[in-house]
Amino acid sequence: MRSAWLSTTLALAALLGGLNFALAQGDVPLIGDAMDAPSAATPLERRCADWTAEPAHGIIGLVGYDAWKGISDMGWQNNGIHAGFNYGTRLGALSDATGIGFQIGGTMGVFNWSGSDYRPSSLDQAQPQGFLTYGFFRKASEDSPWIAAFAQDWMLNDNYGVFAQNPTLSQWRGQLGYALDDRNDVGVWGAARLISDTRNVPGVGTVSWRPMNQLNFYSHHTWAFGADTWLWVGIPERGRFAGNGTLGDYMPGALANIPLNNRVGLYALVTYMHPSVRAGPRGFEEEAWNFTIGLSFYPRGNASSGSWLPQLPVANNGYFLVDTNGV
């Protein structure tokens, strides 16, 4: 079952990669004229819209399916449903002068609804998990092609990992990009740990968890019908928390946001960290991956536009990787 999910994750990443490369040559519409009238705006108009003329804020509702695993799970995967929101807004005179906006969002997920058979306790309980993201962003404009975002992410856990603990973790996450033209930008995004956590696990002793530092190089394309696709590849920090080896060699990822109409969209995310150890039991335990697919809802009818929609997605197990000294 685990290998099947991993194969699905990598296959979808390859599909999104091929889609991003092949269709970028001609911007072939996938949905045709299914969008409502506001989608007539060109990508340049959407990217470089007059900040003062745009709606002052934008909100996205989220509901989706997650499958993921990390080092703390020692090879076991988690499956469940998440729901939440992501909100962006202008900041008055500051936004008029600089284009800087503020975003805040969060999700709540419940995983392993039927319990588990690999933890020392709480076998009959599900695994709740929450994420909170807030920070500032700036999108490209006619006056400046630079894109930037900086946010703090929180991960709130219950029955987390093989020891069924509840660590609370936090990281910084940032993005810096440059718009090459009206449809493409490139840049970097990364994460740096801020808050780790330590718990006393009965029968084991002191166990700690900490966010992984990572740096990724990305390419983003905006399609004529309003969809966005991101591709990236990156590297995590090298040393294991406990000093007993190394983490991953590289981390590919892909994200797609596809508007189905002006109020509903489809989003999909795949990430994978290839472990640095050779294939086998240890490699199986140390790899990390995430597969997310869901529906997004835009109450203001701006699924394909909006300067004040959030720049960064809400954190999840694809953007927030965790190392531990307990396994």
| pLDDT-wise least confident of 18-22, 154-158, 203-207, 317-321 | 18-22
229, 230, 231, 232: CA torsion to nearest 10 = -170
Which strands sit side by side in the sheet containing 197-201, from one edge to the other? 197-201, 205-211, 322-324
Asked if residue 136 has pLDDT above 70, the reply is yes
Indicate the pLDDT class of residue 233, thresholds 50, 70 and 90.
Answer: very high
Indicate the pLDDT class of residue 31, thresholds 50, 70 and 90.
Answer: very low
Span 185-224, pLDDT tens digits: 999 999 999 999 999 988 888 999 999 999 999 999 999 8
Q: What is the pLDDT of residue 303?
A: 81
Domains, the chain:
2-324 (2.40.160.40)
| Global confidence as pTM | 0.83
Asked if residue 26 has pLDDT above 70, the reply is no
228, 233, 236, 238: CA torsion to nearest 10 = 180
Asked if residue 41 has pLDDT above 70, the reply is no
Mean pLDDT of 11-23: 43
Span 96-122, pLDDT tens digits: 899 999 999 999 999 998 877 777 766
Q: What is the pLDDT of residue 10?
A: 44
Asked if residue 274 has pLDDT above 50, the reply is yes
Averaged confidence pLDDT in the chain: 84
Q: Which residue has the tokens 């990508």?
A: 43
